[in-house]
Amino acid sequence: MTQSPQRMPAEDPSVQPEDGFRLNMLQERFEADKQYQATADEMLEFYRQMLLIRRFEEKAGQLYGLGLIGGFCHLYIGQEAVAIGLQSALDSERDSVITGYRDHGHMLAYGIDPNVIMAELTGRQAGISKGKGGSMHMFSTEHKFYGGHGIVGAQVALGGGLALAHQYTGDGGLCLAYFGDGAANQGQVYETFNMAALWKLPIVFVVENNQYAMGTAVKRSSAETEFYRRGAAFRIPGMDVNGMDVLEVRQAAEIAFAHVRNGNGPVLMECNTYRYRGHSMSDPAKYRTREEVQDYREHKDPIEGLKRHLIEAGTTEDDLKGIDREIRSRIAEAADFAETSPEPDDAELYTDVLVGTY
């Protein structure tokens, strides 16, 4: 345990050094060049990972329809570029990630075995939470992935705590805390912004703005719909990012992470994205038009977009078809595993309630 040199929260808080804060200070740098210069291998890897999430989620939707997945199940289809663009830029040894209940994609982005994720969705012993968490409550402390939280906005304050732990131990890590446009109206988000900025915590707040909080469009719920501006009152620089473009998200991540790692405190990044499916599986989707959904699918799809880059760079359709086949078969295996694995033993009912014995 080493002393953290940078944070002295009890020092006179009235002395705010002139820090040259401007809301757009990072955005300007980002605007200068939005495209991450990915190598061919990186691009292929992004493609593979996004496609893995897409196919995984499609399969989860099917299994839900078949009654093999119960309860709530929130799919990430359409938003893949956000998790992949950001998490590919993490230092996996040090950095932590926390998110809300739409968490399958963030787990897959770590390369966590799809079998144990799908088995959690079906509530089996082999699931990553032994079947006791389900779709919304999945964790991998091994990867410093801290969930998977079902209470809208709670993960933001918890993420602040993870960032505090990074700063306290001086491990050099940062926390990536995702939340949605819905959570962005929760009070604790702003309580956390305040503390994170006050203490210069190493945290990147990411608003995955998929345009709808359940069925409520951002315009119907939010006085300020440009979420990246919402840190201004706390002197947190904002970034406005096209969350449908993995190279743009990755570029934004590079800028934000560097800023945070240099001890400058938090960044608020808004990734504008879109979920193709309903809020959860039981969503009648009457709050938006089919044309709107189709427009995103046909013109802004993150996977199709990257595919164009790949083909320009010389990847062949056959190569991509091969990847698709390989992923479909991997997902089929995960579904099969999730379906055939045994349910938790009855005795699991009483395990993991407490760590200690009293």
Partner 1 sequence: MPIELKMPALSPTMEEGTLARWLKQEGDEIAPGDVLAEIETDKATMEFEAIDEGVLSKIVIAEGSENVKVGTVIALLDGEDAESPAAMAIPDGARDRPKGPAAVAGERQDAGSVDPDDAVTPAASAASRRDPAIPADTPMKNTTVREALRDAMAEEMRRDERVFIMGEEVAQYQGAYKVTQGLLDEFGPKRVIDTPITEYGFAGVGTGAAMGGLRPIVEFMTFNFAMQAIDHIVNSAAKTNYMSGGQMRCPVVFRGPNGAASRVAAQHSQNFAPWYASVPGLIVIAPYDAADAKGLLKAAIRCEDPVVFLENELVYGRNFEVPDLDDHVLPIGKARVVREGADVTIISYSIGVGFALEAAEMLAQEGIDSEVIDLRTLRPLDKGAVLDSLKKTNRLVIAEEGWPTCSIASEVVTICMEEGFDHLDAPVLRVCNEDVPLPYAANLEKLALIDADRIADAVRRVCYRKA
> Quick one: 27 or 129, whose CB is closer to partner 1?
129
> Which residues, at least 6 apart from 199, have a Cβ–Cβ distance to it below 8 Å?
7, 9, 164, 167, 265
Pick out residues in 186-245 that bind partner 1 (CB under 8 A).
187-188, 191-192, 194-195, 198
Contact pick of 105, 123, 182, 243 for partner 1 (by CB under 8 A): 123
* 3-state secondary structure (DSSP) of residue 345: coil
* 3-state secondary structure (DSSP) of residue 319: helix
Per the structure block, which two tokens stand in for 23? 């809301």
* 99-107, 238-246, 312-320, 350-358 -> range binding partner 1 (CB under 8 A): 350-358
Q: Least separation, in Å, of the C-beta of 270 and partner 1?
A: 21
> Quick one: 36 or 146, whose CB is closer to partner 1?
146
Rounded-to-integer distance, Cα 198 and Cα 195, Å: 5
CA 246 to each of CA 111, 264, 307, 320: distance values in angstroms, whole numbers, following the listed order: 17, 25, 11, 17
> Quick one: 90 or 128, whose CB is closer to partner 1?
128
Per the structure block, which two tokens stand in for 239? 């970034």
The mark string for 51-70 relative to partner 1 (x by CB under 8 A, - otherwise) is -------x--xxxxxxxx-x
> Quick one: 229 or 328, whose CB is closer to partner 1?
328
14 binding partner 1? (CB under 8 A) = no
> Which residues, at least 6 apart from 144, have a Cβ–Cβ distance to it below 8 Å?
92, 94, 95, 96, 97, 173
Q: Least separation, in Å, of the C-beta of 138 and partner 1?
A: 8
Run of H or E including 198:
helix 187-198
* 15-23, 105-113, 205-213, 286-294 -> range binding partner 1 (CB under 8 A): 286-294
> Looking up tokens 């890897």, which residue turns up?
45
Rounded-to-integer distance, Cα 284 and Cα 54, Å: 21
> Quick one: 8 or 313, whose CB is closer to partner 1?
8
149 binding partner 1? (CB under 8 A) = yes
The mark string for 309-348 relative to partner 1 (x by CB under 8 A, - otherwise) is -------------------xx--x--xx--x---xx-x-x
- Output the DSSP codes for 157-175: HHHHHHHHHHHHHT----E
> Quick one: 123 or 180, whose CB is closer to partner 1?
123
